[in-house]
């Protein structure tokens, strides 16, 4: 988050480099950082894999991933050749102590060759049970010792409940200092998610109304069209609450609800975020049904494609009780937010792929216009669109042209792609660069992680203890189970139709594009 600077000489060790994450995300992100000249000249990626592969085979495999997933599309021969001169591979098992000794020697000789004390990033692109063995081995080989230059990067899931998260955090803390641990939540690397901070704290306009006096409620929607794909194994142990709400959606909630930090120092920002999580009102077990709804998709149609239900997906039990949709209502008990509900929902196989935050303002305190003028009157709404479009939209009332006074809602909109005419980096590019620069602002600290587990613990426990009897309860290609509508309807509200669909359907859209100031 600080002013970007090219990182110091770096060795980037990827444990699990043969896996999906490295293929789809890490290597494409590093390749783009390389092309954008963010990587230092002294840079080495050491990919660990456990299957014997020749270097050129590994290289080819990674290139195919970049061709498929890079925002730039197909690689160019010469550019790939230059990039891959920074790639090297190690084949070993993750519990092979000798291999760590060899790694330590390799890192030392690299320092010698470069005549530099390179930063060492240990990226654990491995399933959670392997985190313990790797951190222990790194510590045994004393690779954890230098706090300034050794960093450990871990991917979610950070545990599967509060107890296991604590255990995992303790395992890492036994070897690494918290300042060395970077827990990745890729949502925090998304441009618009980061822009919530800029929007709230770099403008004077919005902060005065950012509270219970003016805001009626907030909705956070992360809707996916994809099903569980080939991740049945993982997802059967996870479900939507663990997979999305505990991390991505709660992190967005933190950015929306946090107090202004004194500075953008990593810990200042993270302190403010953790305060939000701690202020979430605990949901009593007997009240879970009033605060949370779960769902599982059945078969249906996604456009013209017929898709199976969750229980018919590979590696999923035919009577699986796992939720693919979750909606929760949370209350943040502090001065700013008392009584303002935050509704969070996420699901797979929903009608559209849309992530957005919708802030619904209070109605005007007194309606001075005649009834005939306000037939179509709606309260102000601010939308922070995260994907597929990245932008901010504000709905307000305007006079409909004509001799009579008639009000009509209009939208003022700002889109990144229109305003800045540049392709934003992928979330992983931002985050990997931050790790290399040692900036932890956008990463989860252990106390944040644990507070997020604590916030959803009552729902998690109740759902685990009471098997759902109505699954599947929503059809693929819809907006989730009916019970999700009731969750907000009981408060006299309804889910906001995602803005892009709504814009197309029922608003007189006034396109006022805000260009960057010259």
Q: Which is nearer to ligand BG6, 224 or 449 (CB)?
A: 224
Contacts 24+ apart (CB under 8 A), 266-273: 266/1, 266/439, 266/440, 266/441, 266/443, 267/440, 267/445, 269/1, 269/197, 269/441, 270/440, 270/441, 270/445, 270/448, 273/448
The residue sitting closest to ligand BG6, measured at its beta carbon, is 243
Q: Is 390 in the site for ligand BG6 (CB under 6 A)?
A: no
Kindly state the smallest distance separating residue 243's Cβ from ligand BG6, in Å.
5
d(CA 400, CA 377) in angstroms, rounded, equals: 11
Q: Which is nearer to ligand BG6, 243 or 356 (CB)?
A: 243
Spot the catalytic one: 50, 248, 289, 366: 248
Query: Total residues contacting ligand BG6 (rule CB under 6 A)?
Result: 2
Binds ligand BG6 by CB under 6 A, chosen from 224, 389, 429, 439: 224
- Mark whether 248 is an active-site residue: yes
Minimum separation from the CB atom of position 227 to ligand BG6 (A): 10
If the CB atoms of residues 341 and 391 are measured against ligand BG6, the closer one turns out to be 391
Measured distance CA(517)–CA(500) in Å, rounded: 26
Report d(CA 467, CA 484) in Å as an integer. 18
The answer to whether 243 contacts ligand BG6 (rule: CB under 6 A) is yes
Tell me how far, at minimum, the Cβ of 377 lies from ligand BG6, in Å: 34
* Identity of the residue, 355 or 380, whose beta carbon is nearer to ligand BG6 in the bound complex: 355
Least distance from C-beta 247 to ligand BG6, angstroms? 7
Closer residue to ligand BG6 (CB): 373 or 452? 452
CB neighbours (10 Å) of residue 132? 16
Q: Does 137 help bind ligand BG6 (rule: CB under 6 A)?
A: no
**How far is residue 7's CA from residue 118's CA, in Å, rounded to a whole number?**
10
State in angstroms the smallest separation of the CB of 20 from ligand BG6: 11
What b-and-e string marks burial along 474-483, b requiring 16 or more CB atoms within 10 Å of the CB? bbbbbbbbeb
CB of 224 to ligand BG6, least distance (A): 5
**Closest CB to ligand BG6 among residues 243, 389:** 243
Q: Is residue 38 within 8 Å of residue 4, measured between CB atoms?
A: yes
Are the C-beta atoms of 38 and 82 separated by less than 8 Å?
A: no
* Furthest C-alpha separation in the chain: 84
Residues marked active site are found at 248
| Site of interaction with ligand BG6 (CB under 6 A) | 224, 243
């Amino acid at each position: 988050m600080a002013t970007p600077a090219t990182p110091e000489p770096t060795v980037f060790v990827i444990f699990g480099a043969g896996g999906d994450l490295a293929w789809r995300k890490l290597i494409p992100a590093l390749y783009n950082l390389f092309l954008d000249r963010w990587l230092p000249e002294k840079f080495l990626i050491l990919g660990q894999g456990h299957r014997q592969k020749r270097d050129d085979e590994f290289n080819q495999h990674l290139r195919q991933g970049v061709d498929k997933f890079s925002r730039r599309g197909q690689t160019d021969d010469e550019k790939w050749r230059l990039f891959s001169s920074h790639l090297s591979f190690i084949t070993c098992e993750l519990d092979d102590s000798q291999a760590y000794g060899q790694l330590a020697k390799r890192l030392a000789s690299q320092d010698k060759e470069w005549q530099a004390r390179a930063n060492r990033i240990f990226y654990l692109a491995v399933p959670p049970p392997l985190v313990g063995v790797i951190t222990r081995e790194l510590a045994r080989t004393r690779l954890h010792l230098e706090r300034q230059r050794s960093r450990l990067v871990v991917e979610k899931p950070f545990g599967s409940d509060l107890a296991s998260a604590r255990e995992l955090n303790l395992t890492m803390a036994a070897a690494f200092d918290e300042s060395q641990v970077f827990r990745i939540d890729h949502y925090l690397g998304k441009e618009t998610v980061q822009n919530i901070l800029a929007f709230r704290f770099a403008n004077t306009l919005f902060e005065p109304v950012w509270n219970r006096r003016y805001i009626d409620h907030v909705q956070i929607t992360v809707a996916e069209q994809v099903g569980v794909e080939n991740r049945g194994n993982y997802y059967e142990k996870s479900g939507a609450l663990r997979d999305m709400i505990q991390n991505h959606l709660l992190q967005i909630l933190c950015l929306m609800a946090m107090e202004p930090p004194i500075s953008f120092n990593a810990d200042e920002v993270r302190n403010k975020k953790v305060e939000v999580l701690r202020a979430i009102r605990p949901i009593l077990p007997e009240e879970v049904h009033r605060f949370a709804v779960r769902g599982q998709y059945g078969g249906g149609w996604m456009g013209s494609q017929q898709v199976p239900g969750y229980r018919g997906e590979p590696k999923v039990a035919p009577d699986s009780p796992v939720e693919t949709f979750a909606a929760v209502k949370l209350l943040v008990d502090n001065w700013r937010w008392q009584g303002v509900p935050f509704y969070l929902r996420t699901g797979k196989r929903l009608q559209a792929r849309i992530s957005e935050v919708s802030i619904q303002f209070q109605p005007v305190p007194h309606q001075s216009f005649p009834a005939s003028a306000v037939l179509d009157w709606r309260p102000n709404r601010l939308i922070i669109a995260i994907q597929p479009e990245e932008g901010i939209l504000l709905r307000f009332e305007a006079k409909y042209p004509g001799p009579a006074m008639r009000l009509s809602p209009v939208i003022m909109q700002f889109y990144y792609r229109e305003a800045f005419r540049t392709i934003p980096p992928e979330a992983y590019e931002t985050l990997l660069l931050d790790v290399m620069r040692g900036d932890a602002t956008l990463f989860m600290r252990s106390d944040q992680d644990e507070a997020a587990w604590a916030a959803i613990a009552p729902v998690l426990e109740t759902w685990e203890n009471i098997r759902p009897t109505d699954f599947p309860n929503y059809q693929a290609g819809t907006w989730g189970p009916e019970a999700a509508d009731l969750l907000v309807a009981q408060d006299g509200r309804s889910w906001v139709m995602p803005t892009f669909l709504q814009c197309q359907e029922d608003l007189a859209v006034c396109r006022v594009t805000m260009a960057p100031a010259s």
